[in-house]
Amino acid sequence: MVGLGNPGAQFARTRHNAGADVVAELARRHGTGRLRVLRAQRAAVEEVRVGDQRVALAVPTTYMNDSGSAVAPLVRRFGIEDPRSLVVVHDELDLPPGALQVKAGGGLAGHNGLRSIEAHLHTTDFVRVRIGIGKPRSGSGADHVLDRPPPAERALLEEAIVRAADAVEVIVTDGITAAMSRFNARVSDR
């Protein structure tokens, strides 16, 4: 399970680091909460148990646009042969703030972190947990994802991070179909 984000304190709590925040939540729930840096994998990692399954939680130490250079060695290290066994959690401009969607495979929606993963793995068949951050009202998408959201939106994002961690747990214990059924409600249904 990989949570995408950018390294460094200047990116903490930005919209783009929502995936990394989910990994931190899962590490608190199931492990020590302290990921250790594996230089050869270009990621911080903690192995935990979710139910009776062993799960590697990882956050690339690369910048978002180079996430694939961390994910590919992680896939090799942990012997992942089926890309559907890889769960990538990331921010999503095409979903409203706080919305959540679990998805297997599909397009990249212009997300540079996903584009990098696809370039290194040569597949888009991995599972995604998409956390809505909404589109900017003005300015560029790049500025929007790297900004810290205002308090009301931050509250929605914090709730989505907890629900995304719940969704990862359901994917691991009950499968992707159960997670999609439970977490892919329309925003108006939340």
CATH code at 2-189: 3.40.50.1470
> Which residue did the predictor score with more confidence, 189 or 37?
37
Q: Does residue 16 carry a catalytic annotation?
A: yes
- Bridge partners for 58 per DSSP: 2, 45
> Which residue did the predictor score with more confidence, 109 or 100?
100
Using 50, 70 and 90 to split pLDDT, how confident is the model at 186?
low
pLDDT of residue 190: 44
Using 50, 70 and 90 to split pLDDT, how confident is the model at 139?
confident
Q: What distance lies between CA 1 and its chain's CA centroid?
A: 8
